[in-house]
Amino acid sequence: MRIGFLQLRPKFGAVKQNVRKAVSLLSRVSDAVIVLPELFNTGYLFRNADELASLAEKVPGGYTTSEMKKVAKCNNLHIIFGIAQKAKKKYFNSAAYVSPKGKVSVYQKVHLFDREKLFFTRGKSLKIISIGEAKFGIFICFDWSFPEVARVLMLQGAQVLCHPSNLILPYGQDAMKMRCIENGVFAITANRIGTERRGTMSLTFTGGSQIVDPRGEVLVSAGDRSESLKVVEIDIERANDKNITSNNNIVEDRVPVLYSCIARKKIR
Ligand code: ACM
């Protein structure tokens, strides 16, 4: 199975330009699962709710999803991309999935980061998609900070974690290596690059998109300066082997009776 990432430098608000660039780069690759960054079509730093409302799109039905469906069909691609989703009167920081056959599904970010909380509604469920026999768990950027998410996705069968991102903190990529080791899965982190300046606000994104294997080894990565499309061949069966030694298995050795406070909101 071929999996990859497209690292991009979106221009805030220039949806058509950002989507055209992504489609043109995606046209160079075929027969693969490709992950794009969080909010790749709009940019990240919304100044207010009106700005978000003017740029958010329906999924399916909006311009970005339609363009992604076209390139997915032409090039036999499964594409997972970050998008500001308009759903009734709510707005979600979402990751949409489109298949070559035109199937669409959506994950809505559960753990909103910083000012995202001002405009976006928090998602209420986790997401796994099936591509043939393979299972892909989707989460977005700051969701990495909650190891429970990757754990639950793995326990529900995910073999690959798809991680559209706009990483700002310096350790997200390293943490993803740990998510892979502790769950015995692959992960595709598709980050963005560039600095976004909006009024008095400014953020620099860290690039470093990567594909990590179930032992925490980086199979392929990008720097923090340029847009980059990278694809690798993986043996997805490796994610089914949860043995760490001949006497240790990361699923079977768990002792869930000791972990019940994980599922409670209050810790005392
Ligand atoms: C982030 O969740 N975009 C840092």
Q: Which residue ranges make up each domain of the chain?
A: 2-240
Could you report the per-residue pLDDT of 13-51, keeping only the tens digit for each? 999 999 999 999 999 999 999 999 999 999 999 999 999
Q: Which atom of ligand 1 is nearest to the CA of 143?
A: 2
Could you report the per-residue pLDDT of 45-84, keeping only the tens digit for each? 999 999 999 999 999 999 999 999 999 999 999 999 999 9
pLDDT for res 266: 85
pLDDT at 244 over 80: yes
Q: Which atom of ligand 1 is nearest to the CA of 169?
A: 4
pLDDT for res 267: 75
pLDDT for res 60: 97
DSSP-assigned letters across all residues of the chain:
-EEEEEEB-PPTT-HHHHHHHHHHHHTT--SEEEE--TTTTT-S---SHHHHHHH-B-TTTSHHHHHHHHHHHHHTEEEEEEEEEEETTEEEEEEEEE-TT--EEEEE-SS--TTHHHHPPPP---EEEEETTEEEEE--GGGGG-HHHHHHHHHTT-SEEEEE----STTHHHHHHHHHHHHT-EEEEE-BEEEEEETTEEEEEE---EEE-TTS-EEEE--SSS-EEEEEE--GGGGG--EEETTEETTTT--GGGGGGGG-S---
Q: Give distance in angstroms: CA of 38 to centre of ligand 1.
A: 8
Q: Give distance in angstroms: CA of 81 to centre of ligand 1.
A: 14
Q: Which atom of ligand 1 is nearest to the CA of 168?
A: 4
Q: Give distance in angstroms: CA of 255 to centre of ligand 1.
A: 32
Write out residues with Cβ below 6 Å of ligand 1: 38, 113, 141-142, 166-168
Q: Indicate the top mutation candidate among 42, 168, 206 to test ligand 1's pocket, ranked by most ligand atoms within 8 A of CB.
A: 168
- The CATH class, in words, for 2-240 is alpha beta
